[in-house]
Chain A
Amino acid sequence: MLQIVKKQEMSPRNAAILRVSMVFAALIAAGVIILILGYNPITVYSKMIEGALTNKYRLTQTINKAIPLVILSLGVAVAFKMKFWNIGAEGQLYMGAIGASYIALFHSDLPIYIMLPLMMLAGILCGGIWALIPAVLKSSLGTNETLVTLMMNYVAQKFVNYLQIGPWKDPKAFGFPKIATFTDNAVLPKVFGIHIGWIIALILVVVVHILLKHSKLGYEISVLGENPQTARYAGMSIPKILLVSVLISGGLCGLVGMMQASGIEKTLNEGISGGLGFTAIITAYLAQLSAPVILVVSFLFAVLLQGGTFLQVALEIPASVAEVVQGVILFFVLASEFFTNYKIVIRHRESADAGKEAAE
Chain B
Amino acid sequence: MAKKFMALLLASLMLLTLTLTACGDGGSGSEGLAPIKKEDLKIGFIYVGDAYDGGYSQAHEEGRLQMMESLGLADSQVIVVENVPESAECATAARNLVDQGCNVIYSNSFGHMDHIKAVADEYPNVYFGHATGFTRTDNMTTYMGRIYEARYLSGIVAGLQTKSNKIGYVAAMPIAEVVRGINAFTLGVQSVNPNATVEVIWLNTWYDGTLEKTVALELLNKGCDVIAQHCDSPAPQIAAEEKGAFAIGYNRSTAEVAPKAYLTAPLFHWGAYYTANVQSIIDGTWVSEDFWKGLTSGVVSLDNLSSLVVAGAAEKVAAAEAAIKDGSLVIFSGEIYDNQGNLKVAAGQTMTDAELTSFDWLVKGVIGSVPAA
Contacts and interface: CB of A to CB of B under 8 A. Distances in A.
B136 interface: no
A171 B176 CA distance: 13
Contacts, number: 63
Interface string A149-167: 0000000000000000100
Interface string B57-92: 000000000000000000000011100011111001
B175 A309 contact: no
Given A265-B87, A313-B79, A316-B79, A175 B95 contact: no
Given A265-B87, A313-B81, A316-B79, A176 B96 contact: no
Nearest to B78: A316
A174 B92 contact: no
B87 A174 contact: no
A315 to B, nearest CB: 10
Contacts of A265: 87-88
A313 B100 contact: yes
A175 B360 contact: yes
A162 B111 CA distance: 17
A175 B373 contact: yes
A172 B87 CA distance: 17
B87 A271 contact: yes
B85 A177 contact: no
Contacts of B114: 181
B175 A174 contact: yes
A57 interface: yes
B97 interface: yes
Contacts of B159: none
Nearest to B2: A56
Contacts of B176: 174-175
A126 to B, nearest CB: 20
A178 interface: yes
A337 to B, nearest CB: 33
B333 interface: no
A310 interface: yes
A23 B87 CA distance: 33
B111 A313 contact: no
Contacts of B256: none
B356 to A, nearest CB: 13
A20 to B, nearest CB: 31
Nearest to B178: A175
Nearest to A266: B88
Nearest to A169: B373
Given A176-B110, A178-B111, A55 B99 contact: yes
A264 B88 contact: yes
Nearest to A172: B373
A165 B172 CA distance: 12
A170 B371 CA distance: 12
Q: Identify which of B110, B174, B175, B373 gathers the most chain A CB atoms within 10 Å of its CB.
A: B373
A277 to B, nearest CB: 16
Interface string A49-71: 00000010110010000000000
Contacts of B340: none
B19 interface: no
B92 A175 contact: no
Would you list the 8 A-B pairs with minimal beta carbon distance, nearest first? A175-B175, A175-B174, A171-B373, A271-B87, A265-B88, A165-B204, A313-B96, A271-B85
Given A61-B92, A176-B111, 5 more contacts: A173-B373, A174-B358, A175-B176, A313-B81, A313-B100
Interface of B: 79-81, 85-89, 92-93, 95-97, 99-100, 110-111, 114, 173-176, 179, 204, 358, 360, 370-371, 373
